[in-house]
A and B are shown apart, each in its own frame.
Chain A
Amino acid sequence: MIPNRSEYLKQQALQGQKIMGVLPALYPKELLWAFDILPAEIWDPPGDIVKANRHLQTTICPIVKQSLEFILTEPGIVNAGYLFPHTCDSLQNLGSQVKDMIGVPVPVYTFYNPKGNFNKATRAYYGDILNEFLQVLADVHGPPDIEKLRAACELGLKIDGRRIELQQARMTDRLSLNSQQYFQLIRAAEFMQPVDYLYLLNQVEIQDEPLKSHAIRFLISGILPPNDMTLSFLDDLGIGIVAEDLLAGSRRIPIATLDPPADPIEYLTDRFFLLPPCSTKAGSLDHRQQYLKKLASDSKAQAVLFNIVKFCEPELFDHRSLVKSLKNEGLPVLSLETELLPGLSGQTQTRIEAIVEMMGDEVLA
């Protein structure tokens, strides 16, 4: 049901679709859609890292390494440029390297999301950078069609709405997808045409009544979900990931639906400031703590799993305090470090099984 990412994008490119390679994570998709550009996000393209290592330090996160490897060996799909949102210093540096030193045959754009605690000034700033980006795109792709932009926002709104419904359904056991299927669905947003994606989301059935609850309920937090082998190991153990706080997932969906857009820039600004707290926005840690606690309690999660990308500074910065505050709430916490490689190590299996044993007398017996 969910198309293969590279096949889908190849097909799109063959049909003459304008495709922009976008690095994680927060950027105004709707602006690109309004110019008929399909954003194809680059998070964790598979494959060995060969060429990228020449340009990067060893202590750079694997997302940055894998993205650069992808850029250096790009199979001719990306034709409308690359976009580097300011997610973290590593990605920002990568953006400047690709633009100024490495050089690519397409334009390189940056998008400087506001950071820190938000106020009136950051709101104004965000409106400004949206307008600037709109202008930058207009310089290459012709003047913006405001009706098209409004339609793009409306489509985005529908997608957000359905995503929120699905998240709710997941938390209340009304989706029959296992974790692997659920995250495939979520991550299809990274490359699909919005119309196709909305159709896909609408195909997923939400049950009226809760299905049999998972033996063990986990909340997951981090940048990306664990790899497929780890997810199916969790599924096999009866662990259901009932809620997620992932940058590749719910941190990109507003916490509530908005009204239909009258002014698209206003709408996109409102939307940005309704996104859940995230380490890459460098907001208040307290806010993140409260948010995670609430998510755990709303989803009746019995434990929290942090899936930490190795060397990811923003996440590691918050990690220790978050673990401490969740443990203080009596929630068992498991932290796994990932280098985004396929497979599942014996140590990771042991850690996962151990937390399950820790949580239940019956499991130990």
Chain B
Amino acid sequence: MSNALFAGVDVGSLSTDVVLIDSAGATRAEVVFPTGINGAEAAQKAYDLALEQGGISRDQIKAVIATGYGRAAVAFASGKTTEISCHGVGAHHLFPDTGTVIDIGGQDSKVIQVDGRGRMLDFSMNDKCAAGTGRFLEVMAAQLEMNLNELSDPRHVSGESVQISSTCTVFAESEVISLLAKHTPREQIINGLQRSIVNRIWSMVISIGIQGEITITGGVAKNKGLVTVLEEKLGMHLNVPDNPQTVGALGAAHIAQRGFKDE
């Protein structure tokens, strides 16, 4: 059954990610697409792009697992699984010694404990607000008039830092405004913001505990400054995938493969 391919579709609040794998588990296509206002449409488009990228026809795909907050809207999926399970499985495939996964996306952050097979043992997830998520950083980047790449520069976290006392996006934003008005150097503010998110994540991590290697997934893993501060705080090296945004979709594709029974 070597021709069989499997798809994972992760409809997140900001990005819709698709990964196609073959029966040996090798990635054949990988797409990151903005979710926008219509998750169902984004899923379809991202899926079409992935098929095109891999030169794959639709009937080669034997199973599709949808995940992410928009998982229920993926009409062509054969099943759905939460992004919590999917990030666990995906991270395990990339780094088999992973025991703890930290997924920081646009609106959610999660800490997931997995066993030696990538199966979830426990998890913790942020509450409704955007504190400690990618959205928080986006709001702050806009306030600081810079893009995410600039904000993520690890050089900003090496020097002095201001204390951002609020983790709430709305309050932290007004703190940033008043710091800017006082001519506080931008790098100090950025440093403070990164540390404030890390504190938030750290409290989720300790609430369920660390085991094994830690792998960080989700778009915020691209934020090198934040990864640096988090490594410092945890006193551990973090595994950072080449494409952290597609780890959930990768996990979904593997779950699709696992669940597929060859007729």
Residues of A at the B interface (CB closer than 8 Å) are 327, 332, 337, 345-347, 350-351, 353-354, 357-358, 361, 364-365
Of the candidates B85, B121, B123, the one whose C-beta lies within 8 Å of that of A364 is: B85
**Chain A's nearest CB lies how many Å from the CB of B211?**
13
Chain B residues, CB < 8 A from A353: 82
Q: Does B119 contact A (CB under 8 A)?
A: yes
Contacts A337-B127, A345-B128 hold; do A354 and B85 have CB atoms under 8 A apart?
yes
A358 and B69 within 8 A (CB): no
Chain B residues, CB < 8 A from A346: 69
For B119, give the chain A residue with the smallest CB separation: A364
Secondary structure at chain B's binding surface: helix, strand, loop or mixed? mixed
A357 and B81 within 8 A (CB): yes
B125 and A347 within 8 A (CB): yes
B81 and A350 within 8 A (CB): no
Q: List 12 A-B contacts (CB under 8 A).
A: A347-B125, A347-B127, A347-B128, A350-B69, A350-B83, A350-B84, A351-B125, A357-B120, A358-B123, A364-B81, A364-B255, A365-B255
Q: How far, in angstroms, from A361 to B259 measured CA to CA in the complex?
A: 10
- Those of B159-180 within 8 Å (CB) of chain A: none
Chain B residues, CB < 8 A from A358: 85, 119-123
**Chain B's nearest CB lies how many Å from the CB of A324?**
10
- Those of B83-127 within 8 Å (CB) of chain A: 83-85, 108, 119-123, 125, 127
**Chain A's nearest CB lies how many Å from the CB of B203?**
12
**Chain B's nearest CB lies how many Å from the CB of A184?**
27
B84 and A357 within 8 A (CB): yes
Chain A residues, CB < 8 A from B255: 364-365
- Add 13 more A-B contacts to A350-B84, A358-B123 (CB < 8 A): A332-B122, A347-B108, A347-B127, A350-B69, A350-B83, A353-B82, A354-B123, A357-B81, A357-B85, A357-B120, A358-B120, A364-B81, A364-B258
Chain B residues, CB < 8 A from A354: 82, 84-85, 120, 123, 125
Q: How far, in angstroms, from A332 to B259 measured CA to CA in the complex?
A: 24
Q: How far, in angstroms, from A151 to B255 measured CA to CA in the complex?
A: 62
- Those of B178-229 within 8 Å (CB) of chain A: none
Chain B's interface size range is: 10 to 19
For B69, give the chain A residue with the smallest CB separation: A346
Q: How far, in angstroms, from A332 to B127 measured CA to CA in the complex?
A: 19
Q: How far, in angstroms, from A319 to B82 measured CA to CA in the complex?
A: 25
Chain B residues, CB < 8 A from A332: 122
Chain B residues, CB < 8 A from A327: 122
Secondary structure at chain A's binding surface: helix, strand, loop or mixed? helix
Chain B residues, CB < 8 A from A361: 119
Q: How far, in angstroms, from A329 to B16 measured CA to CA in the complex?
A: 38
For A339, give the chain B residue with the smallest CB separation: B128
B122 and A350 within 8 A (CB): no
Chain A residues, CB < 8 A from B122: 327, 332, 358
**Chain B's nearest CB lies how many Å from the CB of A21?**
31
Q: How far, in angstroms, from A353 to B259 measured CA to CA in the complex?
A: 17
For B261, give the chain A residue with the smallest CB separation: A365
Contacts A347-B128, A364-B119 hold; do A357 and B82 have CB atoms under 8 A apart?
yes
Chain A residues, CB < 8 A from B123: 354, 358
**Chain B's nearest CB lies how many Å from the CB of A303?**
12
Q: How far, in angstroms, from A354 to B119 measured CA to CA in the complex?
A: 11
Q: How far, in angstroms, from A346 to B127 measured CA to CA in the complex?
A: 11
For A335, give the chain B residue with the smallest CB separation: B124
For A361, give the chain B residue with the smallest CB separation: B119
Q: How far, in angstroms, from A31 to B37 measured CA to CA in the complex?
A: 58
**Chain B's nearest CB lies how many Å from the CB of A325?**
15
Contacts A358-B120, A358-B121, A358-B123 hold; do A350 and B258 have CB atoms under 8 A apart?
no
Q: How far, in angstroms, from A179 to B184 measured CA to CA in the complex?
A: 55
Chain B residues, CB < 8 A from A351: 125
Q: How far, in angstroms, from A358 to B82 measured CA to CA in the complex?
A: 10
Chain A residues, CB < 8 A from B81: 357, 364
Q: How far, in angstroms, from A296 to B108 measured CA to CA in the complex?
A: 31
Chain A residues, CB < 8 A from B82: 350, 353-354, 357
For A350, give the chain B residue with the smallest CB separation: B82
Chain A residues, CB < 8 A from B120: 354, 357-358
Chain A residues, CB < 8 A from B84: 350, 354, 357
Q: How far, in angstroms, from A350 to B123 measured CA to CA in the complex?
A: 11
0/1 interface trace, chain B 225-263, chain A, CB 8 Å (1 if under): 000000000000000000000000000000100110000
A350 and B128 within 8 A (CB): no
Most buried by B among A337, A347, A358, A365: A358
**Chain B's nearest CB lies how many Å from the CB of A255?**
31
Q: How far, in angstroms, from A351 to B81 measured CA to CA in the complex?
A: 11
Q: How far, in angstroms, from A346 to B71 measured CA to CA in the complex?
A: 10
- Those of B51-87 within 8 Å (CB) of chain A: 69, 81-85
For B79, give the chain A residue with the smallest CB separation: A365
Q: How far, in angstroms, from A13 to B110 measured CA to CA in the complex?
A: 51
Q: How far, in angstroms, from A358 to B108 measured CA to CA in the complex?
A: 19
Most buried by A among B82, B127, B255: B82
Chain A residues, CB < 8 A from B125: 347, 350-351, 354
Q: How far, in angstroms, from A121 to B53 measured CA to CA in the complex?
A: 78
For B207, give the chain A residue with the smallest CB separation: A320
Q: How far, in angstroms, from A242 to B12 measured CA to CA in the complex?
A: 34
**Chain A's nearest CB lies how many Å from the CB of B234?**
21
Chain A residues, CB < 8 A from B69: 346-347, 350
Q: How far, in angstroms, from A13 to B123 measured CA to CA in the complex?
A: 50
For A332, give the chain B residue with the smallest CB separation: B122
Chain B residues, CB < 8 A from A357: 81-82, 84-85, 120
**Chain B's nearest CB lies how many Å from the CB of A354?**
4
Q: How far, in angstroms, from A345 to B126 measured CA to CA in the complex?
A: 13
**Chain B's nearest CB lies how many Å from the CB of A142?**
52
